[in-house]
Amino acid sequence: MFKDHGKNHKEVTLPHGKLHVFANDEVFSSLENKVYEMADHNLSIPRNRYMSYTPDAHVGIGTCIGTTAVWNMGDGFVSPSIVGSDIGCGMRVHLTPLCKGDIQDKTLRREMIQAVEKYVPANERASSHYKNIRVEKIVKDGIHGLPPQYVPDMYTPKNRRSITHVEHAKFEYNHDFLEYIPEKMWAQAWKQIGTLGGGNHFIEIQYVKINEDKREIAEKWGLFDGQVVVMIHSGSRAWGGMLGPRYTKDFRKAMDTWGVGTPDPNLVYAPINSEVGQRYIHLMYSALNYAVVNRHMLAFGVRAGLKDVFGSDFEMPVLYDLMHNYALKEFHRNQPMLVHRKGTTRALPAGHFLNAGPYKETGHPALIPGSMGTSSYIMVGEQEGEKNFYSICHGAGRVRSRRATKELVSVDEFAQSMKIGTDDEVLVNQRTLESILDECPQAYKDVDQIIDSVVGAGLASVVAECKPMAVIKGL
C-alpha cells in the first residue's frame, strides 16, 4: 500500500512505519519485495524520524544500498548496518585543461592508463607507494595530517583547493577511542594508503557535456563542453572494512544483553549515547578521515602519471570530494539529528549553510557515477531536496548480483557495451573483460532512469553529463 505524492515521490506504509521512495514509475515498479522487507526491519529500530530509498536502491547486508535513515541525536540510535562496511566510500572529480579531441587517439589513452598504473596500485593485494605517511596522523587529522609534499596547495592562502573543495577535509572526534584499534588494523591501513581496491571502485577518464540550463553554474565551477575530467570512486579500505564487522559483533552482544533484536541478524543498532554507540561513531569518523585521504592520494598518483604523459606543467585541480556511506550529525528542522546515508549522496542547494565555502553561492557538485560504458553525472541540489534530508542517489545501483551477472551476461555483450573495436571504445586496464564481467553495465540499472527519477522528484538537477573514455578497475 502506498500513497503517491506526485513528482516521483511515493510513501509506502509498512508494518513498522513509513518508507519514502523517490523513483519514477518504471523504476518504482521494478523494486523487488525484498527491499521492502529490509526497510520494515530497519523501521523496527525505535524512534525513527525518517527513512527513504533513492531510485538506485537494491538489497544489501542488513540494509539496502540507497537508504537514508534519520534519528534525533538526543534519544536516537546508530546502526553500523545502515552505514555499511565500506565506511566513507565516496566520489572525487578533478578538472583537467584537456579536451576530448586531445585524447581521442586510443594509443594515447592506453599510454595514460599505463602511466597512472605506475603510481596507483590497482591490485587488491598491492601495497602503498607512500611509506612516509603516518596512519595515526591521517585518521586524526584527515588531509591536514598528510606530509606537505602531498598537499602542495595546503599552505597557499589564495589557492587551497585540496582543503576547501571537499565535503570535509577533517572530521573531529575524540581520539581516545583509537586505543580500541587492534595492531593489525594499523599495519594493514598503512599498506593501503593511495590504493584503489576492488569491486566497484574505479578511476575513470571522462569528457563533459554541459546541461544548457545549468551552464552558468558549470562555468563557475570551471567546467566546459568537451573537457576531460577524472572521476575517482574509493573508500576507507581496510580501516573501515575492519571496523564494520568488528562493531557489528559488539552491537550484537550489547543487543543480547539488553534483550532486543531484529528479524535480520545482520541488522544491529544501539542508542547513540550508549558506550558501544559512542565508540562506533567516533571510530567511524576516523574511517571518514582515512577515506578522504585515500581518494586524495589516488588523485595525487593520477596527477603524477599524467604529468609523465603531458609534461611537468600539467595540473588537475579538484572539483569536489564527497562520501556516500556514513552517519553524520546534521541540523535539520531546528534540531540535531544523526543522518545515516548508505549509498546515498548529500546534495545541498545554493545558500545552504553546510555547503563548503567555495560552493555557498551555487550549491556543491553532487557526483553520481554510472557504470563502465555508461554516463556519469555531476549534479547540484535543489531547495526541494529538504524533504529527503538533501539525499540523492549514489550511482546506478546494481540490478543483479555478481554471480548472476556472470551467468547471464556474455563477454561479447559486455564488449559491445564498451564499444570495443570502434573509435569511441572505452579502454580498460584489465587484460580481459572476463576478469571484470561482474562490473559490466548490464549488472546495473539504467543510470538515465535513475537520474530522471531524481530530477523529476525535484531533489537535484544535472549540471553536466560525463562520458567515459578510459577506466582503471581494481582486482
Q: Which residues are catalytic?
A: 394
**323 appears as a binding residue in the annotation:** no
**388 appears as a binding residue in the annotation:** no
**324 appears as a binding residue in the annotation:** yes
The three cell numbers of residue 263 are 528479524
Sign of CA dihedral 221, 466, 228, 169: positive
Amino acid at site 418: M
**473 appears as a binding residue in the annotation:** yes
**73 appears as a binding residue in the annotation:** no
* 28 C-beta neighbours (distance < 10 Å), count: 18
The three cell numbers of residue 229 are 575530467
**282 appears as a binding residue in the annotation:** no
**371 appears as a binding residue in the annotation:** yes
**375 appears as a binding residue in the annotation:** no
- Nearest Cα to 126, choosing from 301, 325, 324? 301
Q: What is the DSSP string of 60-98?
A: -SSS-EEEEEEEETTT-EE-HHHH-SSTT-EEEEEEEEE
The three cell numbers of residue 161 are 583547493
- Nearest Cα to 29, choosing from 65, 52, 60, 4? 4
**212 appears as a binding residue in the annotation:** no
Please report, to the nearest 10 degrees, the dihedral formed by the alpha carbons of residues 391, 396, 399, 405 taken in order. Answer: -140
How far apart are alpha carbons 461 and 22 in whole angstroms?
14
**394 appears as a binding residue in the annotation:** yes
**372 appears as a binding residue in the annotation:** yes
Amino acid at site 299: A
Amino acid at site 394: H
Please report, to the nearest 10 degrees, the dihedral formed by the alpha carbons of residues 418, 419, 423, 427 taken in order. Answer: 20
**204 appears as a binding residue in the annotation:** yes
**201 appears as a binding residue in the annotation:** yes
**81 appears as a binding residue in the annotation:** no
Q: What is the DSSP string of 177-228?
A: GGGGS-HHHHHHHHHHTT---STT-EEEEEEEEE-GGGHHHHHHHT--TTEE
**311 appears as a binding residue in the annotation:** no
**352 appears as a binding residue in the annotation:** no
Task: List, as residue ranges, the binding site.
Answer: 86, 200-204, 233, 324-325, 369-372, 376, 394-397, 473
Task: List, as residue ranges, the binding site for Mn(2+).
Answer: 86, 201, 233, 324
Task: List, as residue ranges, the binding site for GMP.
Answer: 200-204, 324-325, 369-372, 376, 394-397, 473
